[in-house]
Chains A and B, each alone.
Chain A
Amino acid sequence: MKTRLLFPALVLALAGSAYADKVVNIGYSGPLSGGAASYGKDVQSGIEMGINDINKAGGVTVGGEKVTFKLVSLDDRYLPNETATNVKRLTSQGIDVIFVPHAGGILTVQPMTTRDPAFLLVAYSSEPKILEAKNPLTFMLPPRYDNYLQPFVSTQIKAFGKKLGMVGTTSAYGKQWADAVTEEWKKEGGTVGSNNGVDYGTTVDYSAAVTKALSEKPDVLFIGGPSQPTALVVKAAREQGFKGGFIVMDQAKFEQMDQIVPISYLNGSVGVLPTKEFAGTQLFVAQYQRLYKKIPTSEAALNYMGINVIAKAMELAGTTTDPAKIKGSLDAAARALPQSKTIFKMKGVSALGHADADFIIASVKDGKYTKLRLDTVFK
């Protein structure tokens, strides 16, 4: 299947290069093998689809020159040190824009952006620390996760009760999420049980962790890691008779979880609204499904948006090789693009390089998604 998908892309890229004046390589370092391969391929598919669409439309005009794009992907198996090696390889090939889809890798290579050769880092992770670094050459795509804490917590305390059980993943990102949600839960007057976090990458059976968490009789469980193992945690909890609600970390996507467990198991969960439920995403969802035979999550959608904003910014900046100038044009580029190119409604790009796109959180009730209101938004 991989070769089948790559082949038309190759032909397209080659055909494109025959007519266009210039081909610009875009770098990508993400997990393409190992446990997180599925996630890495989802991200890759979004960038790839964006590039193919741009090339099909004849590319963009940068400084009077027709430019098309080509994706150069390297596998880092989700390991930050491999990301660093890959980034060095990519920059040495003269690549000036690199996508990285995991917080560990992003934070590792962030200091390298401004060194010689400089490059623009496109970060796909909701970790707020990425922005705290105040790096001048970072473009962060997803909404920060601290936006979710308050609405998730207050919704679930109101709906189910004040006792929270913890069964999140133990990745660096998962632990930070767990700490943040614990703090918010206590702030709103609830109690938090012992931490039963397990590594969603290496655990063979979740029932032990779930049994332990449930023995403290929680009203709500905090869960989350990659979508598919998260669904297994839900399954274990429901099978052991848990009737309460779930707080689902943003890494897990409802639209992937409901392919593993019946949607009725997810009733009473709060999480991120599936991409296909957003207004105005239908065309993208249909096109993506035709090409990749699966439902696009925000991994595909936000990276599709990312590459489109980058292409537009290159056009506005009049350069494909100066990362600082491209970064400077991101805000104008984001505002100039129609929603068909950004999928989510874009309000611009902040000075720190954060995409200000619409995001909606939702709770599942009777198998349907109910959108929740947000009071404050961190940008």
Chain B
Amino acid sequence: MTTLLQQLFNAVALGGVYALVALGLTLVYGVMRVPNFAHGGLYMLGAYLTYASLTGLGIGYVPSLLLAAIGVALLAALMERVIFYPLRNAPHVSPMIAAIGVLFFLEAAVQLIWGPDFKQIPAPINGIVEIGGVIVTWQRLIIIAASVVVVLALNYFLKRTLTGATIEAMSQNREGARLVGINTNRVGMLTFAISGLLAAAAAALIAPTLLVSPSMGEVMNLKVFAIIILGGMGSVPGAIVGAFLLSFAETFGGAFISLDFADVIGFAMLVVVLAIRPQGLFKRGT
């Protein structure tokens, strides 16, 4: 029983991080129709900026997280302006290739600046908490709490504010949004900025429990693409549900069947869902 609860905590913490990264990706796809392969690169950059703020500027963990989130958000907005905006009328494959190019560029640039060595971000609160025989590190509790807060804030922003509504509107119907006077350029940039913000925040949250390296974005890329395909490309609730489905499948599949199959189970689930519902679990734009 304790083992089950322990695994439950592991799965929820991992799912929270997956959700944050996947949300940004699904928003960008919903609004821009661009599968942003550079998203993992933004996530990786978020971790490095947090590391640099912590060690270089000597500021605390929370200011570093915010600084990294803002930095990556600005960079993502710039990326939309100089790369994806000029390609908006190009064949669909062009922005995809551009995104892959950005991913490689970010990886190479980070390796040049910080080197290929693994970096480590110290946890803001060290130590463990014991809840009914289950041992949880403080960092995992922070991850769970912070991801809930961020998801709620994002939901409030999308559903209750005018700017958020423009993003939703554009995701549902691009032409319609333009007809009612929504500035689609501004919304595109904003969406990219939000996706960068979420990716960087997720990276800063999970970084203390793992190692920061230039290639850390590649693995995350693979997982979040599986998540948004599973949940429905462009769907916000789909990204959240997909994230937890994948983390639960990986954790419990690994625990009850075999860890050798942990990754296989995650992707087998993807195949099954797509066979039954080719559009994913949720429709886009909801």
> How distant is the Cα of A337 from the Cα of B254 in the complex, in angstroms?
51
Contact A204 B210 (CB under 8 A): yes
Instruction: Say yes or no for B215: interface residue by CB 8 A criterion.
Output: yes
Interface size class of A (residues with CB under 8 A): 35 or more
Which of B9-17, B91-99, B174-182, B272-280 makes up part of the contact surface? B9-17
Which of A3, A40, A228, A229 has most B Cβ within 10 Å? A228
Interface stretch, picked from A7-15, A79-87, A114-122, A191-199, is A191-199
Pairwise interchain contact B213-A205, C-beta atoms closer than 8 A: no
Q: How far is the CA of A241 from the CA of B215 in the complex (A)?
A: 31
Task: Give which listed residue, B3, B214, B260, contacts A195 with CB less than 8 A.
Answer: B260
Say which residue of B116, B117, B206, B214 sits within 8 Å of A204 (CB atoms).
B206
**Is B215 a contact of A34 with CB atoms below 8 Å?**
yes
Q: Which of B46-54, B71-79, B107-115, B193-201 contacts A (4 or more CB under 8 A)?
A: B107-115
Residues of A close to B152: CB separation below 8 A: none
Cβ contacts under 8 Å, B286 to chain A? none
A35 to B212: give the CA distance in the assembly, Å: 10
Given contacts A37-B214, A208-B250, A240-B135, contact A198 B259 (CB under 8 A): yes
Residues in A with CB closer than 8 Å to B112 are: 1-3
Q: Report whether A35 and B137 are in contact in the complex, using a CB–CB cutoff of 8 Å.
A: no
Q: In the complex, which residues of chain B have a beta carbon less than 8 angstroms from the beta carbon of A199?
A: 263
Q: A239 touching B135 by the CB < 8 A rule?
A: yes
Asked if A332 CB lies within 8 Å of chain B CBs, one says no
Contact pick for B116, options A37, A195, A201, CB 8 Å:
A37
Stretch at the interface among A19-27, A102-110, A209-217, A316-324: A209-217
The answer to whether B116 and A212 have CB atoms under 8 Å apart is no
CB < 8 Å neighbour of A209 from B13, B117, B128, B259? B259
Chain B proximity mask over A349-367: 1 for CB below 8 Å, otherwise 0: 0000000000000000000
Interface of chain B residues 214 through 263 with chain A (CB within 8 A): 214-215, 218-220, 223, 250-251, 254-255, 258-260, 262-263
Judge whether B120 is part of the interface by a CB distance below 8 angstroms.
yes
Contact A208 B115 (CB under 8 A): no
Quick one: which of B211, B215, B218 contacts A37, CB cutoff 8 A? B215
Q: When the two chains form their complex, are residues B128 and A239 in contact, meaning their CB atoms are under 8 A apart?
A: yes
A33 — which chain B residues lie within 8 A by C-beta? 107-108, 111, 116, 214-215
Chain B residues with CB under 8 A of A207: 6, 10, 140
* B156 in contact (CB, < 8 A): no
Does B163 lie at the interface of the complex (its beta carbon under 8 Å from any beta carbon of A)?
A: no
Q: Mark B64-84, 1 if CB is under 8 A from A, else 0.
A: 000000000000000000000
**In the complex, what residue of chain B is closest to A294 when comparing beta carbons?**
B117
In the complex, A207→B9 CA distance in Å?
10
Q: Are A229 and B260 in touch, CB under 8 angstroms?
A: no
Q: Does A243 contact B (CB under 8 A)?
A: no
Q: B123-154: contact bitstring with A at CB < 8 Å (1 yes, 0 no)?
A: 00000100000010100100000000000000
State whether A240 touches B210 (Cβ < 8 A).
no
A196, B259: Cβ atoms closer than 8 Å: yes
* A204-B223, A205-B13, A240-B135 known; A38-B260 Cβ under 8 A: no
Which B residues lie within 8 Å of A66 (CB)? none
Q: Which residues of A contact B263 (CB under 8 A)?
A: 199, 202
Which residues of A have CB within 8 Å of B209? Answer: 205, 232
Q: B157 in the interface, Cβ–Cβ < 8 Å?
A: no
Say yes or no: is A157 at the interface (Cβ < 8 Å to chain B): no
Q: Which 6 A-B pairs have the closest CB atoms?
A: A37-B116, A228-B118, A215-B3, A208-B251, A207-B10, A35-B215
Which of A's residues lie within 8 Å of B, judged by CB?
1-3, 32-35, 37-38, 40-41, 170, 194-199, 201-202, 204-205, 207-209, 211-212, 215, 228-229, 232, 239-241, 259-260, 294
List, sorted by A's number, 19 A–B pairs whose CB atoms are closer than 8 Å.
A2-B115, A3-B112, A32-B116, A33-B214, A35-B215, A38-B116, A197-B259, A198-B259, A204-B14, A204-B219, A205-B14, A207-B140, A208-B7, A208-B11, A211-B7, A211-B10, A228-B118, A232-B209, A259-B120
- A35-B213, A195-B258 known; 6 other A-B pairs, CB under 8 Å? A33-B116, A33-B215, A35-B215, A212-B259, A215-B3, A228-B211
